[in-house]
Amino acid sequence: MQIYLGGTNVTQLVTDVSTTGSRKECARTLRASIVQSPADKNLPVVKVSNGMPVAMQADGQYFAGMVFSYSSSTASNKIDLVAKDHGIFIKRNKITYKVKKLTAEAAAADICAEYGMPVGSLAPTGFVFSRNFMGVSMYDAIMTGYALAAAENEKKYQLLMEGTSVSVIERGSYIAAVIAEGENLIEASYSESIENMVNQVDIYGKDVDVVELRKSIGMVFQKPNPFPMSIYDNVAYGPRIHGQKNIDKIVENSLKDSALWEEVSERLDQPALGLSGGQQQRLCIARTLAMKPDVILFDEPCSALDPISTGKIESLMEGLKDNYTQVIVTHNMQQAARISECTAFFLLGELIEMGETKRIFEMPQEKSTEDYITGRFG
């Protein structure tokens, strides 16, 4: 066994070491005790700080990470430290990224490159997808493409850390870990505990620009709520107040994207309140699209509409999924099963279960999820 702390071999000073988790898991923890006695001049002085690189090689396995916390005791003459491998950042860091018509493996490589993570081996799938990710973990962003591929090819994939590199393998395969002394260590320096550090945005923070935040999130309500103005002015309202140019083109493109242009192109100056309920809802979607948000939130968007209008809205949402992340709140189980790729079940404000829609509806893991889907309550 060889243990390095900050690039220095401290193997002879380690009295106890343990790891939790398998090398095939994304994030692992290492705990070690290091002999340290200032009074004993025969012992080298070991300096430990949060963020210091830690590496261990033992029995063909390799751990690479950094110190997350440590404590020292004069009574026991030792330093106890806890280190976590770099997979913890894959699990915890929240990212925003747009994938457009890439294979699962190409998307994983792009995401890692964007956020400075080295890439090891990425299992080939050939499966092409598009998705907008906002505020999700890097792990979830990488594995979404592989989960969708798995639904097609019935293979199973897993993400693991090979030293400091991100790898995705097909379950049952194996990647050999290779380490050269002093290499593959990510340098980092932190003065405080980094246990809870993640890359995410607090939307309630004092430094958050609320105007910019609202530009990136669109909202479509349960009941259509067009402004009491013309069809044209409804769509143009947002771009105008933000000083955008080419308003006519924005209005036309937004109405086309919402499948409403053909129905209203000859009467853009007429009141929006004169449209049917389904048309009003599509106009509200067009008004949202005009601002090019990253995420569109739908609150029961079809509950006040007839079946024909509901079908048009669902077709529209299906067409938007390649360019927009859509979050839909609905009590309609059939609708959720028809149009969603991922389903989350909430009960009394608590997230009970989340996963691929097909699995949630066919093989729910939680009894309350199964009871709701099968109509035992709700």
Residue 185 confidence (pLDDT) above 50: no
Model pLDDT for residues 300-328, shown as the tens digit of each residue:
888 888 888 888 888 888 888 878 889 99
* pLDDT higher than threshold 90 for residue 32: no
C-alpha 125/C-alpha 100 separation (Å) is: 16
pLDDT mean across residues, the chain: 80
Residue 198 has pLDDT above 60, yes or no: no
Give percent above pLDDT 90 in the chain: 21
The answer for residues whose C-beta is within 8 angstroms of residue 53's C-beta and 6 or more apart is 4, 5, 6, 7, 64, 65, 66, 185, 186, 187, 188
Mean pLDDT across the stretch 34-55?
Answer: 77
**Mean pLDDT (whole number) for 266-282:** 93
- The SS3 of residue 252 is helix
Q: Which of 85-89, 170-174, 366-370 has the lowest mean pLDDT?
A: 170-174
Share of the chain above pLDDT 70, in %: 84
Radius of gyration of the chain (CA): 26
Q: Is the pLDDT of residue 75 over 80?
A: no
pTM: 0.48
pLDDT at residue 213, rounded to an integer: 79
The stretch 321-348 carries a mean pLDDT of 87
Task: Identify the residue with better confidence: 323 or 129.
Answer: 129
Instruction: Give the pLDDT of residue 171.
Output: 63
pLDDT the model gives residue 16: 80
DSSP bridge pairs for 355: 343
